[in-house]
Chains A and B, each alone.
Chain A
């Protein structure tokens, strides 16, 4: 439906939408604005334009937040998780979408159930188990946890992409002499590639932003993620809000930049599973 019934409705609509947009952008704008101010200036007025632009807030935040190490950790963790989820998830999604095994119903039901499992249900034994195995502060071990947590929904999403591929393509490939594995890797994977990219993006975002697991399993100075590092650093320097907002901006910037760049794929991927026709 395009166009409103009349002018008043349309005006009202734009007013409400404009206000909603303002509410949404306001805190983000405050973050950006104050990240450029000295601490006393923030206190004088959070809304004022900076008298002097303080880029050094950023350098100090980068240093105090230990972001060189933390960003590297976050990056490794994110990439590892993406590889694990996409690798294992695409195989499972393929098998479930194509009902290649008799127990596909059981496995699908189980995975759906774990999509909604509360982290606390498995967190405590997992933590003490990891502690015993010496896996605390181990970025790779944590990426396996993320893989377990993010896999179910990724599989459900990937499944829809596999379902959209005509069965005849697989059959044609089988006749062309492909093994089952080749059917999967040389025909199916390239076709569902957009789905895998979407999943990679969402899993990457969730991993980068994740708080509960990261703060529990990665507390050591050398293994912290950017999020955990910011969390601890923002707990210590609560007087210098300028520097703190600079730190916040540093952490969100890569995510927001990527989002603006690939918003279509983000939005489709994150809303896709929820919209039921």
Chain B
């Protein structure tokens, strides 16, 4: 009887996600432009990828991205979250402020940063020119484009993490904190020996999610640089998108998608394990 309750979810999920996902796996072994008859080509698409410098650039960029997001925002968010624990006034207001960026659409955030900050004419960078400070728009140079995009995503992302960590920190049992206080721990000792160990599982979970999301990153890159200039900020997902919809090389796009999924899969494995440990499975 209760099996019927699952029908809507499963019907939608299977037809939108599972079936196309299986087709993607199949398509990776075909040459297809999206219109004509697909042609089976074996591992050609993967070989083409292996010989494609843009692919390696994109993969490297994804790895750099992962490294950035595993360190900077998590570290900063932990610092801010524990500081929130320290203060007694303004917590709620600060939480709301820190949370704001994550609810603003990526397109909006991207355009505000492009126009109001990076832009040499209308932005802060241009304004600083008056004072003899030369800052070039990072998005227009191959050496800095990826970091320019990452900076915007960092602004968008870290506050959310801070609020999550703060929520987790508040669940650390008060007795543990009291006990540490009675033993005369300083704030940093407390952080090191009580608070951080207390939210270890949350930090782990966020790190796993960071790895997953880092290989999925699309919006900011696509909106701000489209992977340019000269593919310098290309990541796997923008590359796959370009291959499919601009180059109409759907087979190679599918192969790229599989590479993305492969990285995701490893992280997903850990993600499910982390969830299962908490009794969800």
Q: Is the CB of A124 within 8 A of B5?
A: no
Q: Is the CB of B112 within 8 A of A31?
A: yes
A241 and B278 CA atoms in complex are apart in Å by 49
Q: How many residues of B contact A (CB 8 A)?
A: 110
Q: Is the CB of A10 within 8 A of B87?
A: yes
B44, CB-defined interface residue at 8 Å: no
How many pairs of residues, A versus B, come closer than 8 Å at their CB atoms? 311
Q: Which of B23, B103, B123, B245 contacts A255 (CB 8 A)?
A: B103
Chain B positions 1-39 with a Cβ under 8 Å from a chain A Cβ: 1-3, 5-6, 8-10, 12-13, 15-21, 23-24, 27, 34
In whole Å, how far is B43's beta carbon from the nearest beta carbon of chain A? Answer: 19
Q: Is the CB of A17 within 8 A of B87?
A: yes
Residues of chain A with a CB closer than 8 A to B275's CB: 112
Q: Is the CB of B2 within 8 A of A100?
A: yes
A107 and B6 CA atoms in complex are apart in Å by 9
B215, CB-defined interface residue at 8 Å: yes
A30 and B155 CA atoms in complex are apart in Å by 15
Q: Is the CB of B105 within 8 A of A46?
A: no
B256, CB-defined interface residue at 8 Å: yes
Interface string of B151-172 (1 = CB under 8 A from A): 0000100011011100110010
Which residue on chain B has the smallest CB distance to residue A96? B6
A175 and B8 CA atoms in complex are apart in Å by 28
Residues of chain A with a CB closer than 8 A to B250's CB: 124, 128
Q: Which of B10, B101, B103, B218 contacts A24 (CB 8 A)?
A: B101
Residues of chain B with a CB closer than 8 A to A236's CB: none
Which residue on chain A has the smallest CB distance to residue B237? A120
Also in contact, A109 and B8, with CB within 8 A (given A24-B98, A27-B109, A120-B257): no
Interface of A is mostly: helix
A274, CB-defined interface residue at 8 Å: yes
A95 and B16 CA atoms in complex are apart in Å by 22
Which residues of A are in contact with B by a Cβ distance under 8 Å? 1-5, 9-10, 13-14, 16-17, 20-21, 23-25, 27-28, 30-31, 34, 42-43, 45-47, 84, 87-89, 91-92, 94-95, 100-101, 105, 107-109, 111-129, 131, 144-145, 147-149, 151-152, 155-156, 159, 180, 184, 205, 208-209, 211-212, 216, 227, 230-231, 234, 238, 241, 244-245, 248, 251-252, 255-256, 259-260, 263, 266-267, 270-271, 274-277
| 15 A-B contacts (beta carbon < 8 Å) | A5-B186, A23-B155, A31-B116, A101-B6, A107-B6, A112-B271, A117-B261, A120-B24, A121-B24, A122-B23, A124-B244, A128-B34, A231-B223, A241-B122, A274-B209
Q: A47-B127, A120-B216, A252-B104 are in contact. List 15 more A-B contacts (CB 8 A).
A: A5-B187, A10-B87, A24-B159, A30-B116, A31-B112, A34-B116, A46-B122, A100-B5, A108-B281, A109-B272, A118-B261, A123-B241, A144-B16, A180-B1, A212-B222
